[in-house]
């Protein structure tokens, strides 16, 4: 199945370059990409603002959601063609029977995620006996287990309550949680509102929380040339950030409805993954870190009973498009 899909992709890309400009083609519908607020995802939005999709010859509609779970639902329901989602979500889609492909990695959290605690809990060791909120069966839960290991605590030493990351703040303000695993902007603002403390961030467990661009496999099979153009435009935007960071931050901040200074603080918590880093992550022989981490997270989700079958990383990850750009 994987080989067949790749052959289709290759032939479409080859034919699109061979016959471009020879005849007018029917108007295609825009590629719809779901996105929500996270600094690591915004290069996809920046590419739209800078006209990079049009430059490469593909029409894209960015569909923005204020709540991350709504973007997940839109992708699962087929209302969009692609989603800017975490790697663990891609694994869940695939294991649940939705045929999807990860075409590139956008970023990994480097301080943008972490654990925040109320006043009185001054260290990780102080978590013993307290209630911690985290969304069970997600990469946040995976991170919490690593955090407890650092603290020399076990899951028996704390009370873990399942809660979506964006609800952690309100639950802590209500006093129902003593600590929680969440991401920016909730991480820092929760500590400020409570007078509490961020005890640890993903700087202590980097390259664990990976975000990605995920396409429906049917869209890839039908429109591989357009997917290739989307990927090319995305990496153009990443390069623009390197050259013109202040303008890029201003544009991406406006998309999220925050100031450029606040957005810059969020960028400090992520590591953007450019084309070179993506090539390194995927590896030349499907043996790169992305494949290793997919297997690790898949095993974790399987052990937690979140998924009931282990996906083949080589079926889920599709490095063809980034490799095409490196030629």
To the nearest 5 percent, what fractions of the chain are helix, strand and coil? 50, 20, 30
b/e string for 117-127 if b means 16 or more Cβ within 10 A? bbeebeebebb
CB count within 10 Å of CB 295 equals 15
Nearest CA-CA partner of 181 in 140, 149, 146, 124: 140
Q: Which domains does the chain have, with CATH numbers?
A: 2-19+29-108+208-325 (3.40.190.10), 113-204 (3.40.190.10)
3-state secondary structure of 155: coil
Q: Distance from CA of residue 56 to its chain's centroid?
A: 24
What pLDDT was estimated at residue 284?
Answer: 81
Tokens of 118: 């109320």
Which is nearest to 44 in space by CA: 81, 98, 99? 81
Residues 103 and 322 sit within 8 Å (Cβ to Cβ)? yes
In b/e form, how buried is each residue of 297-327, taking b as 16+ CB within 10 angstroms? bbebbbeeebbeeebebeebbbbbbbeeeee
Question: How is the beta sheet containing 82-86 ordered, strand by strand?
Answer: 60-65, 31-36, 82-86, 210-216, 100-109, 270-272
Q: What tens digit of pLDDT does each residue of 105-118 get? A: 999 999 999 999 99
Residues 6+ apart with CB under 8 A from 51: none
pLDDT in tens, 44-64: 999 999 999 999 999 999 999
End-to-end Cα spacing for the chain: 25
Count of all residues that appear for the chain in the document:
327
Q: How far is CA 234 from CA 23, 65, 116, in A?
A: 27, 19, 33
User: What is the per-residue pLDDT for 5?
Assistant: 62
pTM: 0.84
Helices of type H across the chain: 2-19, 43-49, 52-56, 68-76, 87-95, 139-150, 168-173, 186-194, 217-222, 224-243, 245-256, 260-267, 275-282, 289-303, 313-316, 320-325
- Measure the CA–CA gap between 80 and 266, rounded to whole angstroms: 26
Given this model, what pLDDT does residue 20 score? 46
Token readout for 224 is 């591989």
How far apart are the C-alpha atoms of 10 and 15, rounded to whole Å?
A: 9
**Residues in the chain where the model's pLDDT stays below 70:** 1-26
Phi, psi of 179 (to 5 degrees): -155, 165
């Amino acid at each position: 199945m994987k080989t067949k899909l790749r052959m289709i992709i290759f032939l479409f890309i080859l034919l699109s370059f061979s016959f471009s400009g020879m005849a007018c083609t029917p108007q295609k519908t825009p590629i719809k990409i779901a996105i929500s607020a996270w600094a690591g995802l915004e290069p996809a939005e920046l590419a739209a603002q800078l006209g990079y999709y049009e430059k490469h010859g593909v029409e894209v509609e960015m569909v923005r959601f204020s709540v991350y779970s709504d973007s997940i639902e839109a992708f699962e329901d087929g209302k969009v063609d692609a989603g800017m989602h975490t790697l663990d979500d891609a694994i869940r889609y695939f294991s649940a029977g939705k045929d999807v492909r990860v075409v590139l990695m956008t970023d990994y959290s480097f301080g943008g995620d972490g654990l925040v605690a109320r006043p009185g809990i001054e260290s990780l060791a102080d978590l013993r006996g307290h209630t911690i909120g985290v969304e069970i069966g997600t990469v946040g839960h995976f991170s919490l287990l690593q955090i407890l290991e650092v603290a020399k605590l076990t899951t028996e030493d704390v009370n873990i309550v399942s809660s979506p990351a964006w609800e952690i703040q309100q639950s802590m303000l209500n006093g129902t949680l003593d600590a929680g695993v969440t991401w920016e902007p909730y991480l820092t603002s929760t500590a400020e509102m409570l007078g509490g403390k961020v005890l640890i961030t993903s700087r202590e467990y980097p390259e664990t929380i990976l975000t990605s661009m995920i396409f429906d496999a049917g869209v890839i099979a039908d429109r591989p040339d357009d997917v290739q153009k989307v990927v090319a435009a995305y990496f153009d935007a990443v390069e623009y950030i390197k050259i013109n960071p202040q303008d890029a931050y201003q544009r991406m901040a406006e998309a999220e409805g925050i100031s450029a200074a606040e957005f810059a603080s969020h960028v400090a918590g992520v590591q953007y993954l450019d084309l070179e880093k993506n090539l390194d992550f995927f590896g030349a022989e499907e043996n790169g870190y992305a494949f290793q981490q997919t297997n690790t997270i898949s095993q974790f989700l399987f052990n937690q009973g979140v998924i009931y079958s282990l996906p083949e990383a080589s079926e889920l990850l599709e490095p063809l498009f980034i490799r095409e750009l490196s030629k």
